[in-house]
Amino acid sequence: MTSRDRRTLPTSPFDGGGPQAHPIPIRSPGGSSPGSFRSPPFGQDTASDTGRNAAGSYGTHAFLLQGTGSWHPAVGSLQSKVQALQEKAPESALTASLLQDEEACPASPPEGAWAPSSPLHPASSLMRSTSRTTRLLSTIQEEQAAVEAKVATARRAPTPASKAIVFGLVNAVAAVPSLIAYAAIVFKDPIYTPYLDLLCKFFFVSSAVHQLVFVCLSALPFAIGQVQDVGLIFMSAMATSIAGLATAQGQGADVALGTSLLTMTISTTVVGIATLLVARYKLAELVQYLPLPVIGGYLGFVGYFCIASGLALACSVSIDTISSWANLASVDALTKLVPAVLSTLAMIMTMEHFNHPLALSGVLTTIVLAFHAGRLLLGWSLEDAMDRGWVLRPAEGKQEFWELWSLFNIHDFKLDGILVSAGLAQIGKLAGLILVVCFGSCMDVAAIQQDLPERIDFDHELVTVGVSNVITGLTGIGYCGSYIFSQTIFTMRAGVFSRWNGIMVAAVELTIFLLPFSIVQYMPNFFFGALLVWFGVEISRDWLFLSFYKLTRIEYGVLWLTFAFVMQLGLEGGIFAGIVLATLYFTYAYAQSQISGLRIFHTMTSNVVRTMDQQAALQVFATHCVVARFQGFVFFGSAHALSRRMDVVAGALVSDPSAGDADAPPPAELALAEAAARTGEAFSGTRHTQAVAALRAAPRFLVLDFTRVRGMDATGARTFAVLCRDLLALGVTPLLAALDHHGVRPLLAAHGVPMGRRAWPPEVGAGAGAGGDGAGSESAAGAGGGWADAAGPLPSHDSGSLAEVMRLPHAAWTALPPGAETARGGADAALVFDGLQAALRYAEDQYVSTAVRYGLCRPPLARLTLADLVRAHLDKLPVVAPGAADDVAATLVQYLDSRVLQYGEVLWRLDAPAQQMFIVEKGSLRVDQHRFGAAAAADRAEDPDAGVVSAEAAGRSFELGPGCVAGSTDFFLARPHGSQAVCSSPVARVLALTRQGLTRLAAEVPQVLAVLQVIIMRANTLDLTVAAEVGHAGQVGD
């Protein structure tokens, strides 16, 4: 991106700028003075279509309803499109129709009219007007598309050669002064000053060759390709370095100049080859990996360099270091500084206030003419101006254009006049030149793409840039070039789609090159200096100051530090130092994001929907299990901080918050009080004693979730090894989830993390008992492990207290010392699980097991009869007479169908009609909720006919055991299933209520239907509670 681009191209619409929407006059009610509103760019949807205001559109989108005196919010969009159609297609039939409605549709409400917050007027004309407006708005998009197509066709129509030639002259006039200034930048060392007028010709012919290549190869007929300013600083650094090395070795100016020309020619060829490789292997994205603050610091130095070089050229002084700015303090320098500053201000003001393409050219011509007028008034000849340092003196003798190549100082194809060692010393600068030119070329093509409606072949245009640089290099006139996107877009917007434009630019530049004299000797030094200062001010302002609003504060600091390092260490050292700084900042920022992204959950639950009493029991142990979710790449920069956070969490798990405070309640009392508040369960008397004993015996778990970890280095693995050993020493069992990806598990094992593999829930066996009535070892409600069924016949709900049922003596749960069972669950090693849900389910099963042992809840049941389900719910909500639960169940079962499922059998499929709802009587179901939107579409597009969505493709999964109600939401809403249900136990039995059964139930026994509705309401409430907690925790797979 060149300085010319930055001073002439409006900001792209993608950056919030671009062609600004212009105020369009509109009619006000009653013929009052016209108002205005900002119309969006033609073809852009407005807020009435999308539900939000589009940039630049009228904020309320309102109009006066015809014949009602009411103002309705919808037609700011209509008027915007009317005006756009009026401009684009004044003869359109739809435009005329819209204009008729516009007469009665002002853009703002007349005084006293109905406001949007008021009720709609009931007049009959309201519907007529609304209907007509809706019809017009529904067809406006088709008309817009047709008009846009006509505009595109017109713009692609053959451009008259005369028009293209005129714009070619305009582009050439804009390019010539810049090329002269570029020559002054590259060859700024005093050793090259006698040759500057001749060296300018190299820039003219180089740009002409670039332009001709673009005319022949670019797919854009309006493309402008010239020598660019992006790589000039590296070339200037090369020329200055070679001059210094040649002087140090006692070589003359001819050797320094020849070596510089040859080095730049070879460098341009190499840059072209590198650009071709970038295009061939599609490496443009890699080139753009350069940190923006580093590029900004470099470009800031480019701006400073242009300012310093321009002032030095204008005032005939040397400005190489910060201290050398004192050279401007002389009377002669200050005298020459005044016209340079005034000329710079004139250029800046012209670009700020005038948009005509000839405005800048006119100002530049005026500056030169004013100088010569002043010279004549003072009685100076051109020779006098040269003697006083106001004009460059031409090189001695006349040289025809074919003699310019003698400046290479190569005779008889021998390199005797070349200081080869000085050229080889520029390899480091060549690497930087390749990076910045490739980066700049990529940005140029991207900037042109933003202004074009059609997609550009990015790689093809990069090939064009590469070929042009190779050809200019091989012909011995090479200076790095690319698109001048400001002039390219200017030509495109003017409707010039002809290659005669580029041919004319190249012809003018070749003509200047072929002239037997140099035009530089007729232009004052301050003119070139003012151009350079102008370029520098524009670049420095953009990157050193205005970038403050586009970067973070630290990035902005990196930008300025890069600028300072380039000033102090040179280009290579400064850019390398900037990259190191940007890398260190990235390391710090990424480590901070990992630390801030570490999420600690104290209430995360598994996806198992458990019974009411189990949920209440699990609330008692809520403080005993914490989940830590990691993300990103765990590395040396974040491992230590993550470990410290985990130490704090583990300390909180085992600490006594009442320690040191005699009046504070014990931790068990706090846990019970919180559980009672969340569940409504009362913990008093014997139940309180049981709960306290269970809390003492319950294990403590810290679940470490690695699902979102994308890798780990050795430092991170060692840190986790130390953490796991510390947790085990504290009596906290680490549960490691989702290690089998990105090499996490082998790395942890290599660093000594003690791990014991656990597949949870355990493998389910075949159902016991004839007829499939027996239960497998899998708990239907999610309490796996086989322990619930191993005790023989399960107690009935009308048995005595759980302590009596389990035959657990009172002393057994009162005399246990604190921490007596903290080793439960295998506290000698960390336990590894395939995923987070398995780890959570394991922890919950251990707590349910503890709760059963201490009488806090009933054992998980492998089967729950309908009578038991009804009784369990009606005990909490006595909506029927005591003892009527069995009668309700006996009546209800007559309207239900029984169905037996085998493991893996699908109960319902995604998008299937919800014609039944189900009550799980035995076994378990896994319900996979579907992800809606683009992600779901992508998943289903892979196998649209399968009908079954995998668990991974589902948004969330829930396990439903005996007593759970499934499919009721879709059933009652009469919509297709948004999930799928699969049998997840060896065998399951469900009771199904069909729509026919529901109709019969409502007609014959509505009282039983009311009881069923209460049961469904409580069951769905429990489901929603689990879903809300899982959703809040951000379940894996979201």
Assign 3-class secondary structure to 313-380: HHHCCCCCCCHHHHHHHCHHHHHHHHHHHHHHHHHHHHHHHCCCCCHHHHHHHHHHHHHHHHHHHCCC
Q: What mean pLDDT comes out for the span 350-370? A: 85
pLDDT, residue 702, reads: 94
Of 145-149, 389-393, 736-740, 926-930, highest mean pLDDT: 736-740
Task: Give SS3 for 991.
Answer: strand
> For 258-267, 472-481, 1002-1011, 1026-1035, which range has the lowest pLDDT when averaged over its residues?
1026-1035
More confident residue, 92 or 278: 278
- Residue 229 has φ and ψ, to the nearest 5°, of -90, -10
Q: In which element (H, E) is residue 711 found? A: strand 700-712
Report the phi/psi class of residue 855: left, alpha or beta, with left for phi > 0 and alpha for psi in -120 to 50: left
Take residue 850 and report the two structure tokens written for it.
């503890």
Q: What mean pLDDT comes out for the span 661-682? A: 62
More confident residue, 679 or 173: 173
430-465: per-residue pLDDT in tens? 998 998 888 888 878 876 876 777 788 888 999 999
- Architecture of the domain defined by 598-763+825-853: 2-Layer Sandwich (3.30)
CB burial readout 209-241, b (16+ within 10 A) else e: bbbbbbbebbebbbbbbbbbbbbbbbbbbbbbb
pLDDT, residue 879, reads: 66
Beta bridge pairs of residue 737: 705, 833
Kindly report the number of other CB atoms within 10 A of residue 846's CB atom. Answer: 21
Q: What mean pLDDT comes out for the span 735-749? A: 91
Longest dimension (CA), the chain: 124
Q: Does the pLDDT of residue 769 top 90, yes or no?
A: no
Q: Which of 468, 555, 428, 451 is nearest to 228 (CA)?
A: 468
Q: What is the residue-averaged pLDDT of the chain?
A: 75
178-216: per-residue pLDDT in tens? 888 889 889 989 899 888 888 999 999 999 999 999 999
Kindly report the number of other CB atoms within 10 A of residue 96's CB atom. Answer: 12
Q: Which of 818, 849, 828 is nearest to 733 (CA)?
A: 828
Distance, CA of 762 to CA of 785 (rounded, Å): 6
Segment 488-494 long-range contacts (CB within 8 Å, at least 24 positions apart): 488/220, 488/222, 488/223, 488/224, 488/448, 489/9, 489/447, 489/448, 489/451, 490/8, 490/9, 490/171, 490/357, 491/167, 491/171, 491/222, 491/224, 492/220, 492/222, 492/451, 492/452, 493/451, 494/167
Kindly report the number of other CB atoms within 10 A of residue 809's CB atom. Answer: 10
Q: In which element (H, E) is residue 707 found? A: strand 700-712
Q: What mean pLDDT comes out for the span 639-659? A: 79
- Residue 136 has φ and ψ, to the nearest 5°, of -65, -40
Radius of gyration, alpha carbons of the chain: 40
Task: Give SS3 for 975.
Answer: coil
Distance, CA of 805 to CA of 857 (rounded, Å): 11
* One-letter identity of residue 790: A
Q: How many helices (H) and strands (E) does the chain have?
A: 35, 21
- For the 866-1032 domain, the top CATH level (class) is mainly beta
Query: CB–CB of 182/228 below 8 Å?
Result: no
pLDDT, residue 339, reads: 95
* 78: confidence class by pLDDT, cuts 50, 70, 90: very low
Q: Which of 21, 13, 63, 18 is nearest to 42 (CA)?
A: 21
Q: Does the pLDDT of residue 504 top 70, yes or no?
A: yes
pLDDT, residue 703, reads: 94
Distance, CA of 878 to CA of 122 (rounded, Å): 50
Q: Which of 866, 951, 855 is nearest to 607 (CA)?
A: 951
More confident residue, 232 or 472: 472
Q: Which of 72, 74, 71, 44 is nearest to 56 (CA)?
A: 44
pLDDT, residue 456, reads: 84
293-332: per-residue pLDDT in tens? 988 898 888 889 889 988 988 998 888 788 899 999 999 9
| Sequence-separated (6 or more) residues with CB below 8 Å from residue 1035 | 607, 836, 837, 956
Extents of the domains making up the chain: 3-156, 161-319+394-523, 551-593, 598-763+825-853, 866-1032
> For 228-237, 551-560, 645-654, 753-762, which range has the lowest pLDDT when averaged over its residues?
753-762
Q: Where are the beta strands (DSSP E) in 863-945?
A: 897-902, 906-908, 916-922, 925-930
* One-letter identity of residue 240: T
Q: What mean pLDDT comes out for the span 800-809? A: 36
Distance, CA of 417 to CA of 755 (rounded, Å): 73
Terminal Cα distance for the chain, rounded:
41
* 775: confidence class by pLDDT, cuts 50, 70, 90: very low
Cα angle 566, 569, 574; round to 5: 40
pLDDT, residue 344, reads: 93
Distance, CA of 517 to CA of 293 (rounded, Å): 44
Q: What mean pLDDT comes out for the span 641-670? A: 71
* 19: confidence class by pLDDT, cuts 50, 70, 90: very low
Q: Which of 546, 576, 478, 515 is nearest to 228 (CA)?
A: 478
Q: What is the pTM of this model?
A: 0.57
Q: Which of 589, 707, 582 is nearest to 637 (CA)?
A: 589
Task: Give SS3 for 59.
Answer: coil
Q: What mean pLDDT comes out for the span 785-798? A: 35
Distance, CA of 658 to CA of 671 (rounded, Å): 12
Q: Does the pLDDT of residue 218 top 60, yes or no?
A: yes
Distance, CA of 86 to CA of 451 (rounded, Å): 23
239-252: per-residue pLDDT in tens? 999 999 999 999 99
